[in-house]
């Protein structure tokens, strides 16, 4: 079971960073990134969606 997907499923549409999820789930940042990149249901957010111009950011969401 993917704990990151289960956590994001409770608040579908919410965009959360990997650092925030690692603190709230009490797992390492590296494990959060692993779960996010291996699950096709979790989408990496574009930088313009959260108000930054960066291309690659560690913010993830699932679409409702």
Give pTM, 2 decimals.
Answer: 0.89
Residue 64 has pLDDT above 90, yes or no: no
Pair 31, 25: CB distance under 8 Å: no
Look up residue 12 and give its DSSP letter: T
**pLDDT per position as a tens digit, 8-53:** 999 888 999 999 999 999 999 999 999 999 999 999 999 999 999 8
For residue 3, count other CB atoms closer than 10 A to its CB: 14
Give the pLDDT of residue 52: 92
């Amino acid at each position: 079971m993917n704990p990151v997907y289960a956590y994001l499923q409770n608040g579908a549409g919410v965009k959360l960073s990997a650092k925030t999820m690692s603190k709230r789930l009490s797992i390492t940042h590296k494990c959060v990134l692993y779960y996010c990149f291996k699950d096709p249901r979790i989408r990496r957010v574009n930088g313009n969606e959260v108000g930054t111009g960066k291309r690659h950011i560690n913010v993830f969401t699932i679409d409702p």
